[in-house]
Amino acid sequence: MLVSSIVRNTLGIKSHVVKNVEQNESGIEVKLDIRKRRRLPCGTCGELGRVRDRLSIRRWKHVPLWGIPVTLNYAPARVRCAKCGMIRVEEIPWSQGKCRLSVGLIWSLAAWCKLLSWNEVARLFNVHWNTVAAAVRQAVTYGLEHREIGNVLYIGIDELSRKKGHVYVTNIYDLNERRLLWSGEGRTQDTLKEFFKEHEEAIKSVKAVCCDMWQPYIDMVKKYLPDATLVFDKFHITQHLMQAVDEVRRDEVSELKKTNPELLKRTRYIWLKNPENLTDKQRSRLGHLEKLNLRCNRAYLLKESFREFWNYKRKGWAAKFLKKWFWWATHSRLKPLRDFAWMLRRHEENILTYFDERISNGIVEGLNNKAKIMSRRCYGFRSAKNYITALYHCMGKLPEPELVHRFL
């Protein structure tokens, strides 16, 4: 098959022809032209019109052939559009707007960017990093314009650290579809306000929202979704409990440094793990430590008893258990556990809503891990804008156009 035939088939052109193909030092140069006596579609409305004149030659980078750069050369035509009543530039089938990348190259680069870092894709295709970034931005822009959000019933809200120094982005996920709905810089009230204003129609169908106990999130959810059920994520609550148990261990280790520094050495995960996940060696050591009446052991028993809370089927029984556990924790003479118990009491209403809508941010944590892996393989992103673009691209499940030929 001739190279001209390959180019023609991958571009999917009907009103244009491959006039000439030649190779030089810069790669393969493809010259395109209009078929004789053909009406061309208007670039604005798509109405067919007669060719009036031609513009100067423009160049587009196309998908490399056998590692050889391919450049398309074409002088766009201007057509008389009866519908617009004006002279317009034709709709070019291999181009999007004024972008100097062909549609095939845009989506080829964008597909590889889901698997590799942008730097690596730029090296493989022998293009500049800015070219790759432009391709991903074009793909994300198209996807956001053409995606159908539909009826979103359950959403999860969580922040994600972008770099050192408490720099965050707020991610909002559709828990049913397991996709990223929206991402914004920061984790303030203004951040969430921007999301709610952009998606006024989509959020009308939301039944429940799952988030952590970050006050700016709580205030905005109650303001913009007053009828939705607010559920505090059980994984974040468990995380707070684990931190309290570990704080008890650290305090006791400090007190035992002079008398018996080896007693609690390397026991952190013995107290934090679930009993069924302990190794034989850890289980044996735990059995020995339980006989010593340590504060760590009291914290451990309170932690294990709290696990029963999530197993209740009815909200009323769960509330009774929580009241009883609150008494145990506040009378345990363990300050970190007492502080945790009072935190539960302050947020009790939205903790118990878990038994009305059994949702959690487990899906959110999984997607956040994917986002962290994506950031690591790129060695981080300098700007929040590029990071958010990459998040949409990899986790937004954005639609793609139907191409004549897929290069990946």
Same-domain status, 288 and 375: no
Task: Let me know if residue 132 belongs to a domain.
Answer: no
CA distance 358 to 370: 24
Task: Let me know if residue 161 belongs to a domain.
Answer: yes
pLDDT digits (tens, 9 = 90+) for 87-140: 999 888 888 888 888 888 999 999 999 999 999 999 988 889 999 999 999 999
Task: Let me know if residue 36 belongs to a domain.
Answer: yes
Planar angle of CA 319, 321, 325, nearest 5 degrees: 115
| 192 has pLDDT over 60 | yes
| 193 has pLDDT over 70 | yes
| 362 has pLDDT over 90 | no
Number of domains observed in the structure of the chain? 3
Contacts of 56 (CB under 8 A, 6+ apart): 75
Supply the pLDDT for residue 165: 77
Supply the pLDDT for residue 100: 87
The model's confidence at residue 151, banded by pLDDT at 50, 70 and 90, is: confident
In three-state secondary structure terms, 128 is coil
Same-domain status, 316 and 295: yes
Containing 10, the helix (H) or strand (E) segment is helix 3-11
- Chosen domain end from 47, 63, 95: 95
Same-domain status, 168 and 308: no
Where is average pLDDT lowest: 7-11, 286-290, 367-371? 7-11
**Residue (of 241, 242, 301) closest to 272 by Cα position:** 242
Q: pTM of the full predicted structure?
A: 0.85
Same-domain status, 59 and 204: no
Task: Supply the CATH number for residue 382's domain.
Answer: 3.30.420.10
Burial 299-319 (b: 16+ CB within 10 A, else e): bbebbeebeebeebeeeeebb
- Chosen domain end from 95, 117, 133: 95
How would you classify residue 398: left for phi > 0, otherwise alpha for psi between -120 and 50, otherwise beta?
beta
**Residue (of 94, 80, 16) closest to 42 by Cα position:** 80
Task: Let me know if residue 67 belongs to a domain.
Answer: yes
Same-domain status, 14 and 74: yes
Containing 33, the helix (H) or strand (E) segment is strand 27-34
Supply the pLDDT for residue 65: 86
Task: Let me know if residue 135 belongs to a domain.
Answer: no
Rounded to the nearest 10°, the torsion over CA 252, 254, 260, 266 is: 80
Rounded to the nearest 10°, the torsion over CA 247, 252, 255, 256 is: -140
Supply the pLDDT for residue 333: 93
Task: Let me know if residue 50 belongs to a domain.
Answer: yes
CA distance 250 to 294: 12
Task: Let me know if residue 146 belongs to a domain.
Answer: no
Containing 32, the helix (H) or strand (E) segment is strand 27-34
Average of per-residue pLDDT across 77-84:
89
Supply the pLDDT for residue 3: 81
Indicate the residue type of 215: Q
Same-domain status, 227 and 244: no
CA distance 174 to 155: 5
Same-domain status, 214 and 252: no
- Give the domain range for residue 169: 154-233+360-395
Higher pLDDT, 4 or 184: 184
pLDDT digits (tens, 9 = 90+) for 42-69: 988 888 988 888 999 999 999 888 888 8
Average of per-residue pLDDT across 3-16:
85
pLDDT digits (tens, 9 = 90+) for 267-325: 999 999 999 999 999 999 999 998 888 999 999 999 999 999 999 999 999 999 999 99
Same-domain status, 335 and 370: no
Which residue in this structure is represented by tokens 């670039």? 43
| 375 has pLDDT over 80 | yes
Task: Let me know if residue 327 belongs to a domain.
Answer: yes
Supply the pLDDT for residue 49: 87
Containing 384, the helix (H) or strand (E) segment is helix 384-395
Q: Cβ distance 252 to 264 under 8 Å?
A: yes
| 37 has pLDDT over 90 | no
In three-state secondary structure terms, 136 is helix
Same-domain status, 217 and 73: no
DSSP-assigned letter for residue 352: H
* Averaged confidence pLDDT in the chain: 91
The model's confidence at residue 36, banded by pLDDT at 50, 70 and 90, is: confident
Same-domain status, 330 and 239: yes
Supply the pLDDT for residue 312: 94
Average of per-residue pLDDT across 217-222:
93
Same-domain status, 246 and 201: no
Supply the pLDDT for residue 403: 78
Q: Cβ distance 143 to 398 under 8 Å?
A: yes
Same-domain status, 288 and 364: no
Supply the pLDDT for residue 393: 95
